[in-house]
Amino acid sequence: LTVPELALLMAEFLHDVAASGSAGHFPGADWPHVYRGWPNTAYGMSKLGQIALTKIHARLLAPRGISVNCCCPGSVATRLNP
């Protein structure tokens, strides 16, 4: 996987979600992103993209002795997210 390939995958997800209709409706198999096998979570896709990009950069930079890491913290309880 390369950076351009990852960017294309993320763009395809966004396109398919946008074509799925308005928010607030329960997703069904007829929604383009569900039909095409995408998960029904933008947060999960953003973390997938972050991890994939980290692995790509780690692979590219390893020969130069550079390590690459990322951190994907879980949910944090706040006033807005009890």
The catalytic residues are 43
Say which residues have a Cβ less than 8 Å from residue 61's Cβ, sequence separation at least 6.
67, 68
Would you give the distance in Å from CA 19 to the centre of its chain? 17
Instruction: Please work out, in degrees rounded to the nearest 5, the angle formed at the alpha carbon of residue 34 by the alpha carbons of 31 and 38.
Output: 140
33: exposed, middle or buried (C-beta count within 10 Å: 0-12, 13-18, 19+)?
buried
